[in-house]
Each structure stands twice: as C-alpha cells, then as structure tokens.
Amino acid sequence: MTLLWLRLAVVLYGIASLAVLPAALYNRPRWSQFAIPAAIGAAGLHFVSLAEMLNAAHHRLPVEAHEVQSLLALILALLFLAVYWRHRSVSLGIFVLPIVFLLAGLAAFRPGQESFSQPVHTGWVIVHIVLLLAAYAGLIVSLLASVLYLIQERRLKNKGSRLDRLPAVDMPLETIDQIALKTLLFGLPCMTAGLLIGTLMAQADYGARYFADPKILLTFGLWIAYIVSIFIRRSSGLRGRRAVYLSSLIVLVVLFVWAANQFSVVHRFATP
C-alpha cells in the first residue's frame, strides 16, 4: 500500500502542476480550486506513504536514496502550500510543483536500492536530515522566486513590446522578492541546527577526521555562502538578475554537496 499511496500522490501532484499554469499565468483563478486541493491531497497521501515506508523498513528516518527523494519532495510541497496560505498566490507552483512531481515520481516508480553505509543509532539523525533537507528546499524555492522576479520585471519594463504579450503572474515584484528573501531566512537556521546536530553526533564516531570529509567541508562552505548571500541581499537590496545569479551559485554548491556523497566516509550511499 505504501507505493500505492505515493503513486496516487504523484497523480495528484501532476494534476496540480497542470492546473496551476492557467491559474498563475493566464489569470484564471478558478483553476486554483483544482490545483490547491490536489496539492493538499497529494501532500496528505505523500505523508502517509512516507510514514508507512519508514515503518515497514523498521527505521524512523530516510535511509535509502528514494526515501530521501520522497522526503525532499514532501518538504517542497509543504513550502509551496505555506506560501499559498500566506500570500494566496499559486505562482511559485509553476516551478515547485513539477519538481515535486519529478522527485515523488522517481521515488514511486523507480525506488532505488541505495542506503547509507553507516548504521543509524539515534533519533537525532532524523532531526539532522530533516533540517538539512528543509534548508535545501528553502534554497530551491528562493532560486525559483528570484527567477520569477526576473521574468516579471522584464515584462513590466518592456511594455509595448513582444514581451508585453507574455502572461503576467499574480504577485507584485515586492511580494516575490520578499518570498525569495524569507525562504532564505527560513533555511539558514535549519541548516545551522542541522550542521550542529550532525557535528556533535559524528564527533563520537569519527573524531577529527570528520572535518576532513569532503561532504562536510562542502557543507560548511555552503553554510558560509548561505550567510553571505543573505547579508548581500539584505544590505544591498539585491534583486533581479543579480539575485538570480547569487541564488544559482548557492544551488550549484548544493549540487556539489550532494555529489560529494560518492567520496564521503560519513554520508556515502552504498549498494547492499
């Protein structure tokens, strides 16, 4: 039943991904009546599926790669719903929901056989992983909001040209910019707490060599870049193209962090 719930959630995510397009781009607010309930229903089924999946595997946190994908997709979906609840806008769903659909679909139809090489002994690892995934999700949403800001800004600056024929989103530039900044501010404490918890736990098992691990070094580099990006945005009011470049750089570092799993002693995925 676990995969059944997840596959039903994927179908609903697909419906939401399609319904959000006319709602956000073509000023058809009635489509939100399909997109939002579908997203809420998908997130509910997704949560049930993930809980059953972890229970059936006799662990309380994501261990296999497809479980991590599933949890990240759920966090992104919940962030989208939180933005909608706060601003009553579905514009970010143009980008977020297809990503959620893809991640959940990979977990539902191509479940991997990879797992962490190190055994899990403590419930604190749950908090560590969830906090870092929440931080990554915040970074992704911030990047998508920055891209949306750039698109809307270009459209407004080129009135009377061909760009003016592009459909407009249903949020002002200031709101989009605030979403981009607030999701960064949401992710920073999550990343900080996740790194702190992971460091304290790993010290007992790995000692000083924990800090020589490439995944750990890149993660701390990401944390520093995260702080710098927030400082730049808040101090200089960075928006538009430069904000997109800055957010893209941070997400690129995230990709390097995930790739470092192949060389990490602490976080390596291994096939049993």
44 and 84 both lie in a single domain: yes
On whether both 167 and 256 belong to a single domain, the answer is: yes
Query: Do 14 and 146 belong to one domain?
Result: no
If one counts the domains in the chain, the total is 2
* C-alpha dihedral (193, 194, 195, 197), degrees to nearest 10: 80
Domain boundary among 113, 132, 164: 113
In this prediction, residue 77 carries a pLDDT of 95
35 with 123, same domain: the answer is no
| Domain boundary pick from 91, 113, 135 | 113
Q: Residue 271: its pLDDT value, please?
A: 40
Are residue 123 and residue 97 in the same domain, yes or no?
no
- Residues 94, 164: one domain? no
Which structural domain range is residue 180 located in? 117-272
Query: Tens-digit pLDDT profile for the chain (272 aa)?
Result: 678 899 899 999 999 999 988 888 777 888 899 999 999 999 999 999 998 888 887 766 676 777 888 899 999 999 999 999 988 888 888 889 988 998 888 888 765 544 444 444 557 778 888 888 888 888 888 888 888 887 777 777 766 555 555 555 667 878 888 888 888 888 888 888 887 787 777 665 555 555 666 777 777 777 877 777 777 777 666 766 677 777 777 777 777 766 666 555 555 544 43
Whole-number Å distance between alpha carbons of 151 and 147: 6
Q: Is 120 exposed, middle or buried (0-12, 13-18, 19+ CB in 10 A)?
A: middle
Q: Are residues 55 and 124 in the same domain?
A: no
Residue 154 has what pLDDT? Answer: 76
Strand partners, 270: 115
Q: Is the dihedral of CA 100, 9, 112, 128 positive or negative?
A: positive
Provide the residue type at 228 as one letter. V
Whether residue 259 sits in one domain with residue 132: yes
Q: Are residues 170 and 266 in the same domain?
A: yes
* Residue that finishes a domain, picked among 81, 113, 145: 113
Distances (CA, A) of 172 to 6, 107, 197: 35, 35, 38
Q: Judge if 98 and 124 occupy the same domain.
A: no
Q: Closest Cα to residue 20, out of 59, 103, 69, 77?
A: 77
Question: Is 103 in the same domain as 156?
Answer: no
The pLDDT score that the predictor gives to residue 109 is 74
At residue 266, the pLDDT reads 57
Beta bridge partners of 167: none
Does residue 267 sit in the same domain as residue 188? yes
